Structure 1
Amino acid sequence: MGETEKKIETRKTRCLSKMKIFLLALTCAFVSKVLSGAYTNSMLTQIERQFNLPTSLVGFINGSFEIGNLVLIIFVSYFGTKLHRPVIIGVGCVVMGLGCFLQALPHFLMNRYEYESTVSISGNLSSNNFLCMENGTQIIRPTQDPSECVKEVKSLMWVCVLIGNTIRGMGETPIMPLGISYIEDFAKSENSPLYIGVIKTGAIIGLLVGLLLGSFCANIYVDTGFVNTDELTITPSDTRWVGAWWFGFLICAGVNVLTAVPFFFLPKTLPKEGLEDDADITKNDKEEKQREEAKKEKDGLTKDFLPFMKSLSCNSIYMLFIILSVVQVNAFASSFSFLPKYLEQQYGKSASDAVFLVGIYNIPPICVGYIVGGLIMKKFKITVKQAAHIGFWLSLSHYLLHFLCFLMICDNSSVAGITISYEGIQQGVYTGNNILADCNTACSCPTKTWDPVCGDNGLSYMSACLAGCKTSVGTGINMVFHNCSCIQAAGHSSAVLGLCGKGHDCSMMLQYFLILMSVNSFIYSLAAIPGFMVLLRCIKPEEKSLGVGLHAFCMRILGKTVIFPNITLDQYIYLGLPAALRGSSFIPALVILILLRKHHLPGENASSETEFAETKVTGKENECKDIHQNSKLLNDGELKIKL
């Protein structure tokens, strides 16, 4: 009885100390890497303002992560499988932490941030040159020549941010290909989809935490702790505001280094999950792996690189899956990247509210979808061909539901002189000549300044001056403008900062849009795990790591390249462009389904590995029983002969 209990405890210890610990460590690594990436993307605006960078340099900084990743991903995916994969992943996490630290370093090496302001710190009122001055004169500077409108970079320390982001991309390289291949090699085939679902859920959690951290740091002034924030004359909603972008990078650096620790204590190889307790099989597996490693060392590390690449390029299902993935990633990235801006412009939400709504309505359904997809694959032991059909029909359902978004569109904001006349008559888009009216012609207002206010009559105006406002009360976001000659309301002629709301009908449309977005996110993630299993099982086991790395390489270099042509998102362009891309992705998907009927996939035998081993054990037991019975019969025969 004592031996039985000891065996049970040994099994539990082995279960907790091997595959499950690696799964937990890898999930934390995915959380940290996506956290760092999401935070970096959310801080690009703050970095742009800090260094006064042009858009081209901001795009170059953002793309430097992909550059660092692309430099190493193919080589790490190939050579990593021949080395100690957990240790390489741990080193990658440390390198990511170093990259995040370098991104934060410029804050401590450069001067404090200074912004232009018409309001003095001593509290004196600013000159009211933004109001209507009928009896005065304003100096309106002529429009500058476009060649003169070039930003002057304040400091070259942005190069440190660029280098740090590149190093972070290099460190992120081994996590996905080596981690996924490690799980595929040593986990039960029926457990693998569930484990991958857990890992992808970790990535989504990292995305949510990164967005929330970015929102938190953006509301803290960049030089908090170095200046008196009570004397600031700007708020986070001001375009001159710079948040504490450096603070989040320090947090990301610490998280990345901490997630690296467990990987340095994990073994290079594990016994196949479920076979840890069979000493004979474990011994045979170790001997076989030792022979394979000796053969690899003898043949050299690079001898089979080109044959593997040739084999993958000749794998029609694998290549079609890459094409399908590139198209869908472009569609998804185009839609998701501009979703907060779309909520701002279409439904009138603030930037912080838009980011919050995107996180709350998208990320929980995606997490649930990944887990449910993995559980379904494990529970019903879905084959590769069945997984391909499940992924196809779920993706098609997601695609068709997307067209309902065209019914959930609000009217444009009513801005006097642009989308509506000063009398409140809807007359389409106006030209510059219609911005001025009889009520503000004598105000000498600049017509190219966008500083919107909302009048008591429910109309928005480009600025307080163009609304004819002559006086103001309060400061900052609490400022109220009075005596506005263009605002015709019963007994009132005042305005407040910001655009007017879009009304109850638009709020209801927003609710419908968010609910549909949640349903679509769940369906999208539910189809992701079966689709990813098709990718893993359509390639040979020895090519798995390189195949995953090559797939990621194509996603990096060919995916996420679609950019909307205009900062002001037209709702039909925003909804129609991803729909067109997604529609074209069903062509390779249908071809894959046809090919799966005729082809025998290399990974189809993977599901029977455990059964084969169990059969092998049963065969050994039966063999032992036969030998015992034969020896018993032989002894009986000898006894009869003697008698």
Structure 2
Amino acid sequence: MTEEEKTNGFVDAKDSNMTIRPQRLQEDASETPTVSNPEDIKCGFGSCKPNFLQNFNNPKALLFFLCAFCTVQGFVVNGVNNVNTTSLERRFGLPSSRVGMISSFYDISAAILGLIVSYLGSGKHKARWVAMACLSMACGSFFMALPHFTTGLYQWGQNIGEACRDHAATEVQCAQTDDTSHLQNYLYVFLFGQILHGVGGTTLYIVGVALIDDSVPASSSPMYCGILYAFATLGPALGYIVGGQMLDIYVDYFEVDGIALTPEDPRWVGAWWIGFVVAFVLFLAVSVPLFAYGSELPTAAHVRANRVSQTHNDSLNEKKEELTSHKLRDLPKSFILLMKNPAFLFITLAGTAEGFGTSGVSTFLPKLIQNQFGATAAWASILAGIIAVPGAAGGQFVGGLICKRMNLKVQGMIRLNIIVCFVAMVLDAVVWVRCDLEDIAGVTVHYSDPVSLPNVTSSCNSMCSCTTEYYEPVCSEHNIQYFSPCHAGCQSKVGSGYANCSCVEAFGVSGNMNTSNTVKTGKCSTTCNMLYFFLPVLLVAIFFRFVEAPPSLSITLRCIHDNQRTFALGIQWFVVRLLGTVPGPIFYGAVIDSTCLVWQEKCGDEQTSCWIYDNVALSRNFFLILICFKVFAGIMFLLAYKFYKPPLEKMASATYVVNSNNTNTVDSEDVAVATVNKSFEQSLGDLEMNGFSHERTSEL
């Protein structure tokens, strides 16, 4: 027998005195690698399958199109949607908790449908499932943009005087604006659009990831998944940047010329809808090449033949028929088998905690920057995107690269996650960094008459019938900011400001007697450079938070039986979303609402969105949420490391069993090995006949 034959682990039919165990034992001796019909795995549309399309029938080309899909998906769902949080609150009169529902409904749809999609999508034709998912995403983006084209022009109070007025003027204002309450009903259109986005997203990240894992060796799978998830993170970054630029354009720019508002005005609403229209077109374009792929890639059969099991040891003894069935009636049985796998269970719970914290922060990160540092909505969105590119994308890429370069197995990847989890926990303290809120009369400082704060009404403006429906900040020369000219007690408009302001006079009596009773429009200028410290630390915190993603995904794919991988991803997505990313944005939105100091109130004291927040309470609440769920995730990683049992070493290594009399030693395992050798040789011969090279690949 030649040295090459020994290395590859084949049994020479003429060598009857030696039994050779293969270096890479298949999970089941009875399972022989199969090669699909060559016509079924070709690229093309129907019977049209030209040769030039076969140049794209490989894992790298497939990864390119999946990365394009992931980029557009992240662009619209986690980028544009998050950028538009404040704009949707202003345009449709929604509080943060209800806007958080828009993000959560994506995960509700993904959680519920993920189970069915993952179970039914476990077979072949995965590329076709992904292409249909792309069309679903296109429909979702269409419905998200639809409310802009079915509503009237945005009313920001342009026909209403903000100076001191009597009750009769207030009643006229109510009559003019009362018909805007129906806008809140458009929330349900946004929710339906997010449901369609969820259908497409869950199919992409369950069936699409399984398609990649089916087509490349296990040693390359973390790297491919790392690249895929890096582009998935690049999408939100582009959404933040491009969507942020769109917010500098007035929402009705094509119908209204020359408005008095500027992006710095808190009443400003940008062109939030453009990003959804762009995503609709891109999804249609990406779906075309995905429909061209066949039942599987040509490399899939070769990958199946060479895959080594790293399944949790307790699962190795399960009956084969319990793991290979993909009928709906067997779904509960497969679910129970997964729940018996402690590594899978604890990794899923860790992902749930991470999802809860990450989903809330990603949804409201532009809003956090805008309120804590006084940035405009557009600039806050751009900054969030600039941080997301090197942070999240780089973290996911490095996570996959570490797994590949260090040749980490399941235990090594869990150790990596434990380390980066506790490092990220320390860095989450960055949310304490903030700028102090301006001196706002009745909010952070008292009027001349001391009353409990916040209370923007005082004796100096009590006769003006002021409301908080429209926020038009004005600033006096002693740097006191007022909610509006009406709240400053101003009687008339002069140039770019207001004059005869009774509340400014009251401050002058208690302070400087020479202070004028005029105010200028806009917020008072402040000097705060904490943003330049906040951003780089936040970048590092995001980096370490996302390093965990590729190892966690690879652990999930490696610690379970091959035939349950797609279904396991569906279960994991269901749990992570149901307990993590679904309640996350809603919970964060409610926490943000709880720190509100001044609400926008419509006629009849109807509260809609918030104008001014308590910065200190906002930082404290964000920190407590992040730290609690990060500690929980760290504990889950530790439990996964403790209870994971790798396969027995003898089942993954090559040993040569030769007795002292040079006779063959046969036991039950040798019988299985001989069967694998025979079927393996036959299958490799079939592979070579179909143009595949016989090449061993290293395993994690």
> Is TM more than 0.5 here?
yes
2:251 pairs with 1:229: no
Counterpart residue number, 1:76: 117
What's the CA shift string for 1:337-372, capped at 9, x where partnerless? Answer: 333333333333232222222221233222222222
Match of 1:386 in 2: 412
Structure 1, unmatched stretches of 5+, are 1-11, 120-125, 283-294, 607-611, 622-643
Distance 1:359 1:27, change over 3 A: same
Structure 2 contact 355–577 (Cα < 8 Å) conserved: no
- Judge conservation of contact 1:464–1:481 (CA < 8 Å) in 2: no
The one of 69, 87, 94 equivalent to 1:29 is: 69
The answer to whether residue 570 in structure 2 is matched with residue 518 in structure 1 is: no
Give secondary structure in 1 for the equivalent of 2:218: coil
CA shift digits 1:160-213 (9 cap, x unpaired): 544333223223331111111122222122211111111111111110122233
Change in CA separation of 1:559 and 1:13 when aligned onto 2, cut-off 3 Å: same
Counterpart for residue 632 of structure 1: none
**Is the Cα contact below 8 Å between 2:65 and 2:286 reproduced in 1?**
yes
State how far apart, in whole Å, the 2-side matches of 1:35 and 1:530 are: 24
CA shift, 1:74, in A, is: 0.9
Using a 3 Å threshold, how does the CA distance of structure 1 residues 418 and 218 change in structure 2: closer, same or farther? closer
Alpha-carbon distance between aligned partners in 2 of 1:161 and 1:519, rounded to the nearest angstrom: 33
Distance 1:115 1:45, change over 3 A: same
Q: CA deviation at 1:532?
A: 2.4
Going from structure 1 to structure 2, the CA distance change for 1:149 and 1:579 (only over 3 Å counts) comes to farther
After superposition, the CA RMSD in angstroms is 4.2
Give the structure with the larger helix fraction: 1
Q: Is the 8 A contact 2:427 2:538 kept in 1?
A: no
**DSSP-derived class of the 2:475 partner:** strand
Q: Distance between the aligned counterparts of 2:652 and 2:151, measured in 1?
A: 63
CA displacement at 1:96 relative to structure 2:
1.4
CA distance in 1: counterparts of 2:75 and 2:273, whole angstroms: 15
The aligned amino acid for 2:562 is: P
Q: Note the 1:107-256 alignment, pairs <5 A.
A: 107-108=148-149, 110=150, 112-113=152-153, 115=155, 117=157, 119=159, 127=161, 130-131=163-164, 152-154=181-183, 160-225=189-254, 227-230=255-258, 232-236=259-263, 241-256=268-283
Query: Match for residue 496 of structure 1?
Result: 520
Residue 402 (structure 1) aligned to one of 428, 437, 458: 428
**Correspondence 1:536-551 to 2 at 5 A:** 536-551=557-572
2:563 is the alignment partner of 1:535: no
Match of residue 104 from structure 1: 145
Determine the C-alpha separation between the residues in 1 that align with 2:446 and 2:328: 71
Q: How does 1:334-483 map to 2 (within 5 A)?
A: 334-403=360-429, 405-406=431-432, 408-421=433-446, 430-431=452-453, 436=458, 440=460, 444=464, 446=466, 450-467=471-488, 469=490, 471-474=492-495, 479=497
Distance in 2 between residues matched to 1:184 and 1:605, nearest whole Å = 20
The letter of the residue matching 2:289 is P
Distance apart, 1:255 and its partner CA: 0.8
Kindly state the Cα deviation for residue 247 of structure 1 after the two structures are TM-superposed: 3.1
Corresponding residue for 2:661?
none
User: Residue 588 of structure 1 aligns with which residue?
Assistant: 636
- One-letter code of the match for 2:333? P
The TM-score normalised by the length of structure 2 is: 0.69
Structure 1 residues 405 and 53: alpha-carbon distance in aligned structure 2, compared to 1, 3 A threshold: closer
Deviation at 1:234, TM superposition (A): 4.1
Q: Secondary structure at the match of 1:546?
A: helix
Distance 1:469 1:101 in 2: 46
Q: 2:539 is paired with a residue of what secondary structure?
A: helix
Aligned equivalent of 2:353: 327
Distance of 1:490 and 1:377 partners within structure 2: 70
**In structure 2, what residue type is equivalent to 1:23?**
L
Q: Deviations over 1:418-457 (max 9, x none)?
A: 323458x9x9x943679637xx469747375753323332
Amino acid at match of 1:192: S
Give the Cα separation in 2 of the matches to 1:96 and 1:582.
31
Q: How far did 1:497 drift? A: 3.1
Which whole-Å CA distance do the structure 1 matches of 2:275 and 2:114 have between them? 26
* RCO higher in structure (CA 8 A, sep ≥6): 2
TM-score by length of 1: 0.74
How has the CA–CA distance of structure 1 residues 247 and 185 changed in structure 2, closer, same or farther, with 3 Å as cutoff?
same
Counterpart mapping for 1:548-587 below 5 A? 548-560=569-581, 561-562=583-584, 563-564=587-588, 565=591, 566=594, 567=596, 568=613, 570=617, 571-587=619-635
Structure 1 residue 26: deviation in Å?
0.9
Count how many residue pairs are aligned between Structure 1 and Structure 2.
555
Q: Tell me by how many angstroms 1:72 deviates.
A: 2.1
> What are structure 2's unaligned runs of at least 5 residues?
1-51, 307-320, 597-612, 654-675, 686-700
CA distance in structure 2 between the partners assigned to 1:601 and 1:575 by the alignment = 43
CA 1:24/1:240 → structure 2, altered by over 3 Å: closer, same or farther?
same
| Greater Cα shift, 533-542 or 148-157 | 148-157
Distance 1:150 1:480, change over 3 A: closer
Q: Is the 8 A contact 2:112 2:574 kept in 1?
A: no
Over 3 Å counting, the alpha-carbon distance change for 1:302 and 1:480 in structure 2 is same
Q: Cα–Cα, structure 1 residues 242 and 409, in superposed 2: closer, same or farther, change >3 Å? A: closer
